[in-house]
Structure 1
Amino acid sequence: MSLTSYQIGLRAEEIRQDVIKREQRVAALKTRIAYLETDAFVEVASREKLSLVRPGDHAVIMLPERDEVAWVPDAPPVRPRGPFGQAFGQLDAWFRLFFGAPDEGILGRRP
């Protein structure tokens, strides 16, 4: 028996195993299709997914145990007015960055 025929035999066995797996998958899918076509599945799906009810049934909507409170964000902080006022835009922020606030020195608060 040559190496080539041995490799062919291995490949044939791999293909047989693959065919068996695929046949099992096909059988499982056929079983699933058969279930999906039943009236029981259609009723469950229509009740759960589509929120449908049968004639004579009453729909019940479950509310959460506690009321949900709408969340409102806090107001943005008020920008402190520096020595230049709002007319100069971000100049106050740059001034505070390099020189400190009006009541601070360059190295921090004054004693």
Structure 2
Amino acid sequence: MSTAPEPIRITRGRGGQVEVEGTVDSLAWQLLSRAGFLSEPTLNGRWIRLPFDMGEDWENDRAAWAAQMLATARFTVQLGPELTPVLPARPSRPPCPLRSHRHEHQRR
């Protein structure tokens, strides 16, 4: 009987940084790297995180994008609820171009 692989968790840490925990293979790392994540060596392995001080909206967007790419590649992903990207406000109706309804006739 096989066990399910450990999920990849993308969360906001205690210090406000966005980080990744779980088993990250080479494909998962390529997708995380494409989304802007960095990998730094630590005493216990690697610390995968987004760059600091890029702004919460940017971090949320990148984390959600990484989660979407990982899920598309069939990884089990858990995205922290605090990382939900802010969606742009939708206008109540689409903007219409302004057109002139006057027709000027020119005599020759």
TM-score range, shorter chain: under 0.3
TM-score, normalized by length of structure 2?
0.19
Structure with the bigger percentage of helix: 1
Computing the radius of gyration over CA atoms, which structure comes out larger, 1 or 2? 1
TM-score, normalized by length of structure 1?
0.19
